[in-house]
Chains A and B, each alone.
Chain A
Amino acid sequence: MSAIALVPIGTVSEGLLTRLGKTIDETFRATVSHQALQFDPSLAFDAYRNQYNSTIFLSLLLNSLNETEGKVLGVTDFDLFVPVLTFVFGEAQLNGRAAVVSSFRLRPEYYGLRADSTLLENRIEKETVHEIGHTFGLLHCSDAACVMHSSTYAEDIDLKGSRLCQRCLYQLLSTDSTAAIDSLR
């Protein structure tokens, strides 16, 4: 069974972390723990872009883990970017140990719409499963309903489901049998 530590970066409610932990447990059958932030987030801040470099966050999260520990997921309300792209909703190491998701561009109010906490939490939940899925080696899925389907804008996330499709589940089975078998039950 995998162990996944959730680390809040910035202002993230305990309630949200608990909900995400439950979803991760249900989907990947992982042991989820909450861990306090052990680095200064400003290390990833790019003043020119007024955004946080998600790749640097991944390195910092990894450094805060022991060699023996499992995976780590950073959850943040900061605006994330990778150098070549204008923004990212999240980033993960493919087949790796670290992932990060941001709620910044998932908020309806970012697009001039009325705040909707339920919609926001659903989006964060889907992106969390998506990024954790990458750390288990899952690639983007062509099934539009699968949570591993690629989303490049917020409404795109609303169109897909929060679960893995059968094909991704079988793929997970080949990398983490416990998680997949439990998920198939």
Chain B
Amino acid sequence: MNKSDIGILIVDDEFSVRDSLGRWFKEDGFRVATAENANEALKKMQDQSWDIALVDIKMPGISGLELQKRIKEIDKNVFVIIITAYASVESAVQALKEGAFDYVTKPIDPDDLSHLIQNAIKQRTLTAENILLRTKIEELSKTTEIIGESPQMKKVMELVKTVAQTDATVMIRGESGTGKELVARAIHNNSNRRYFPLIPVNCGSIPEGLLESELFGHEKGAFTGAQYRRKGKFEMADGGTIFFDEIGNLDMKLQVDLLRVIETKQFTRLGGEQVINVDFRVICATNKNLERAVEEGSFREDLYYRLNVFSVFLSPLRERRSDIPLLAQHFLGQYSLSMNKNISAISPEALDLLIRYDWPGNVRELQNAVERAMVVGKPPSIRMEDLPFQLNSRPKIPQADSIAEVERQHIINILDRTGWNITRAAEILKIDRVTLYNKIEKYGLRK
């Protein structure tokens, strides 16, 4: 930052102070303006941006303290330095409490003033860099956007926005491949914790014996092979979010440990005694029926209630077919760039097939299908034969003979999928709740 880029506004009712300080800073090469009262200062604040405001605390009319507030209302990034006489040091301390960068007492030692201004500039530069970096992070974090315009996805996006602003624990439910981690990232990226890490833990992919040290970390010598102290996922997530994927796969012992850490935000590393305090938000995801797991005793009820504070349900792709063209086009654009292949469209027949297919692997399967089609396909568009499934593929149907049995199995499937949420299941089945209750009764279904 050049000195000529830095603007200093001097506000003092005494001409000699304005004049001498103004000349002092001009000799340093700063952009300088003076104001003899608060009103003039506020006008200059409106006309131009200033980096540092030197404000006399005692002025006729609006006081320096009040002016500081108003300056911050116009531009919260201005560094206000209060000028005071010895008699009003108490007021200067008050100004510091209200956000002033520092204060100086008249007459000012030139060396002190020089250091103070240098510190303010250093701080200002760091703040500007910080703002720039935050903007860049926000731009980068936007790359994990959720694609979809179906009513279900619009609802999900609304829920994400709502819950992101809180620190509530979120449980994301949905079939495999529906984008649960993407939603977890969206919640994190829209929260106040976004400048801290999001640490994903896949409870299904880490061997049981290792998960404990992965989560809690360990001290040197805690077990054979522990040659160094290692931070666990909880420590890494400090200030940010920890995302437990496939939470239903957590064994009983770790369920107890997890519940304790979530409630106390304290733990010790394996082999250690030091209590470590952490601050994190928990988001978890599962494709399992946790309610049934609780009933069966394989998932702790207390942990279930601790995790299931706010629930987000992701519909399978076959229930929101209107999103398929959008998603396919999105992946097409991505792979077209990364593979440097000039394929920018999907033929109407191929798109029709994509829309009719049931996508048991959901968005992940669609993404893989588009990727494969991009590999084998030729410009200008993806054709039906580029897709990795046969034309005669048919949606899976329940294995049953009678219509009643087909209906019974279908209702069980939908109830399981929605965690026995009657309202939601009725919506999917396109029947009213009373009819659904009657059918549950008729087929003797139990949760």
**Total A residues in contact with B, Cβ cutoff 8 Å:** 19
Docked complex Cα distance between A140 and B28 (Å):
5
- Give chain A residues whose Cβ lies under 8 Å from the Cβ of B26: 94, 139
Q: Work out how many contacts link A and B, with CB atoms closer than 8 A.
A: 55
Query: A-side binding surface: helix, strand, loop or mixed?
Result: loop
B107 touches A84 (CB 8 A): yes
Docked complex Cα distance between A94 and B24 (Å):
10
B27 touches A140 (CB 8 A): yes
> Which B residues, 101 to 150, have Cβ-Cβ distances below 8 Å to chain A?
106-111, 113-114
- Give chain B residues whose Cβ lies under 8 Å from the Cβ of A123: none
A44 at the interface (CB under 8 A from B): no
A84 touches B17 (CB 8 A): yes
Of B20, B110, B114, the residue contacting A83 (CB under 8 A) is: B20
- Give chain B residues whose Cβ lies under 8 Å from the Cβ of A35: none
- Give chain B residues whose Cβ lies under 8 Å from the Cβ of A153: 111
B257 at the interface (CB under 8 A from A): no
A86 touches B108 (CB 8 A): yes
Docked complex Cα distance between A140 and B111 (Å):
15
Query: B-side binding surface: helix, strand, loop or mixed?
Result: helix
Interface residues on B, range: 20 to 34
A84 touches B16 (CB 8 A): yes
| Residue in A closest to B113 when the chains form the complex, CB atoms | A85
B23 at the interface (CB under 8 A from A): yes
B14 at the interface (CB under 8 A from A): yes
A55 touches B114 (CB 8 A): no
Whole-angstrom distance between the Cβ of A146 and the nearest chain B Cβ: 13
- Give chain B residues whose Cβ lies under 8 Å from the Cβ of A49: 107
B107 touches A88 (CB 8 A): no
B23 touches A94 (CB 8 A): yes
- Give chain B residues whose Cβ lies under 8 Å from the Cβ of A150: 27-28, 114
A82 at the interface (CB under 8 A from B): yes
Whole-angstrom distance between the Cβ of A56 and the nearest chain B Cβ: 10
B14 touches A85 (CB 8 A): no
| Residue in B closest to A81 when the chains form the complex, CB atoms | B107
Of A81, A92, A140, the residue contacting B29 (CB under 8 A) is: A140
Q: A residues near B, CB below 8 A?
A: 49, 55, 81-88, 91-92, 94, 134, 139-140, 150, 152-153
Other contacts beyond A85-B110, A140-B29: 16, CB < 8 A: A55-B20, A81-B107, A82-B24, A83-B14, A85-B20, A85-B24, A86-B108, A86-B110, A88-B110, A91-B23, A92-B27, A140-B27, A140-B28, A150-B114, A152-B114, A153-B111
